[in-house]
Amino acid sequence: MTPKHRPGLSRRAWLTTTSGVIAAGLLKTQADAVKLVAQEAPSSADDPTRVPGRLVSELGSRAPAERPRRLMRNQALSSSSRTPLQDLHGTITPADLHFERHHGGVPNIVAENHELLIHGMVDRPLVFSMADLKRFPQTSRICFVECSGNGGGAYNRERMPTEIPPQALDGLLSTSEWTGVMLSTVLREVGVQDGASWLLAEGSDSAVMSRSVPLEKGLDDAMLVYAQNGEAIRPEQGYPLRLLLPGWEGNTQVKWLRRLEVADRPTMTRDETSRYTDPLQDGTARQFSFVMDAKSVITFPSFPYTLPEAGWWEIKGLAWTGRGRITRVEVSTDSGDSWQDAELQEPVLSKSTVRFRHLWDWNGDETVILSRATDETGYVQPTGQQLWEARGERTTYHQNHQRAWKIGADGAVTFGLGDLV
């Protein structure tokens, strides 16, 4: 592909051009030639070196041609919007494109009035203002947040989609740098009593979203966060305070956090009994399935893209795991018959997304491409069939099976898992 190049005419080129066209009888006078050259020369609108640029502003903006958007399902109080995975680069999600999942809409909270109560099995029940929390030692870490229902659209083999982009498929996933205070630091301030083993986290939204969290996680890497990607958390991400549980399902990471109760047992709230549990084929149910298992998705090529020609293409995507670091991503370009290692882009962080790449020489034939991730525990991302055999087909959450994209002979890309089941 040759880039379009139209340099301005030099005096020598101008004289040569005008003399040539006059001598050929195409133009009668030098004035006619001047008009022709003026029409061919780039206008100031096309040449940014000919006009001053815009001045500085208080708030930056994207280039007009760049219009990534979250994908909204509906405008109900309990709804979601999804990150445009196929439009992003690297691993960090811009704050305004981080996915949303709410159960009662986004509350309007004034940070100066917001308080966090920690009580229950503690020596000193305390109420913390945001100013109080910001006096504790600050820490930051990069990690993903993923809704446990992410990928549900690719699980029903009877209604397997084909025209679905990564955003609609796995867009309930985002990665940010989160800043706040370690929860363990604050818990030491209140003094956790012997025998305590659980926390109840409660939000300030109209749904009063509440989840039970093992105290062990709270004392490990849990954080109380008030900033994201260098700025205060956006309202839809929990402003002014949310619970961050790296590697765990998103609904446990309660937003608009107002209360933590220390207890000796789970509270069995609505959102961990009637919801966020999975019925299994043997009649039992999976409950408190907190950790997000290893997963990967190819973001290019993917629907609705069309490869315009055969030849070398770079397959790109994201991989992540709630159990630590991704150690390997493999790519298949022949429907899973053979696999090749993809390159992992540094840095490969614990409980964060990692970008993978694989060069592929497409011969122009129809095929299916897939990826599978392995994490540092040795866990390998399963096939859809393996997941169906383990859990049955009624499960709703933690659908981390391999994703597939079908490449047609015309280069058109569609979701291709249905071709493998």
Contact status, residue 241 vs residue 130, Cβ threshold 8 Å: yes
Same domain, 271 and 304: no
Within this chain, do residues 273 and 358 fall inside the same structural domain, yes or no? no
Q: Which residue has the higher pLDDT, 303 or 280?
A: 303
Which of 253, 286, 319 is the last residue before a domain boundary? 286
pLDDT (0 to 100) of residue 136: 98
Please check the confidence at residue 21 and state whether its pLDDT lies above 50: no
Q: Are residues 226 and 331 in the same domain?
A: no
Q: Is the pLDDT of residue 2 over 50?
A: no
- Closest C-alpha to 125, from 198, 181, 193, 209: 193
Query: Residue 282: inside a domain, yes or no?
Result: yes
Q: Which band of pLDDT confidence, cut at 50, 70 and 90, is reported for residue 75?
A: confident
Q: Same domain for 112 and 79?
A: yes
Decide if pLDDT at 135 tops 70: yes
Give the least confident one: 46-60, 63-77, 149-163, 334-348.
149-163
Please spell the DSSP secondary structure of 103-171, one letter per residue.
SS------GGG-EEEEEESBSS-EEEEHHHHTTSPPEEEEEEEE-TTTTGGGT-GGG--SS--HHHHH-
The residue among 162 and 277 whose pLDDT is bigger is 162
In this structure, is residue 394 part of a structural domain?
yes
Q: What is the C-alpha to C-alpha distance for residues 167 and 81, in angstroms, rounded to an integer?
A: 10
- Report the distance separating Cα 369 and Cα 352, nearest Å: 24
Between 289 and 298, whose confidence is greater?
Answer: 298
pLDDT higher at 73 or 299: 299
Task: Identify whether residues 227 and 140 lie together within a single domain.
Answer: yes
Which of 251, 274, 266 has its CA nearest to residue 212? Answer: 266
Interatomic CA distance for residues 31 and 316, integer angstroms: 55
Is 381 inside any structural domain? yes
What is the reported pLDDT for 34? 52
Task: Identify whether residues 115 and 251 lie together within a single domain.
Answer: yes
Residue, of 120 and 4, whose pLDDT is higher: 120
Q: Which residues pair with 199 in a beta bridge?
A: 213, 262
Question: End of a domain among 286, 315, 337?
Answer: 286
- The domain boundary, picked from 264, 286, 308, lies at 286
Based on the fold, state whether residues 229 and 132 are members of the same structural domain.
yes
In a domain, 319, yes or no: yes
Per cent of the chain over pLDDT 90 is 74
In which domain, by residue range, is 414 found?
295-420
Both structure tokens of 17:
């051009």
Same domain, yes or no, for 92 and 177?
Answer: yes
Per-residue pLDDT, 38:
52
Number of structural domains in the chain = 2
pLDDT at 42: 58
Are 149 and 111 members of one domain? yes
Same-domain pairing of 277 and 312? no
Q: In what order do the strands lie in the sheet with 404-407?
A: 340-341, 326-332, 367-375, 404-407, 413-415
Q: Is the predicted pLDDT of residue 133 greater than 90, yes or no?
A: yes
Report the alpha-carbon distance of residue 196 to residue 16 in Å, rounded: 89
Q: How confident is the model at residue 13 (pLDDT cuts 50, 70, 90)?
A: very low
Q: Quick one: pLDDT at residue 23?
A: 47
Q: Report which secondary-structure segment, H or E, holds 404.
A: strand 404-407
Checking if the pLDDT of 14 tops 50, the result is no
* Tokens, residue 91: 């691993």
CATH code for the domain of 185: 3.90.420.10
Residue 28 lies in a domain: no
Tens-place pLDDT, residues 354-363 = 999 999 999 9
- What element of type H or E holds 11? helix 11-23
Mean pLDDT of the chain, nearest integer: 90
pLDDT value, residue 97: 97
Token pair, residue 22, equals 């006059």
Distance CA 100, CA 108 (A): 15
pLDDT digits (tens, 9 = 90+) for 225-265: 999 999 999 999 999 999 999 999 999 999 999 999 999 99
Res 220 pLDDT > 80 = yes
**Exposure class string for 10-21: b at 16+ Cβ within 10 A, else e:** eeeeeeeebeee
Query: What's this model's pTM, rounded to 2 decimal places?
Result: 0.88
335/273 same-domain check: no
* 119 pLDDT higher than 60: yes
Q: Are residues 271 and 377 in the same domain?
A: no
Of 108-122, 281-295, 336-350, the one with minimum mean pLDDT is 281-295
What's residue 400's pLDDT? 94
CATH classification at residue 395: 2.60.40.650
d(CA 288, CA 275): 11
Is 351 part of any domain? Answer: yes
Residue 414 CA from chain centroid, whole number: 20
Kindly state whether residue 273 falls inside one of the protein's structural domains: yes
Q: Is residue 13 part of a domain?
A: no
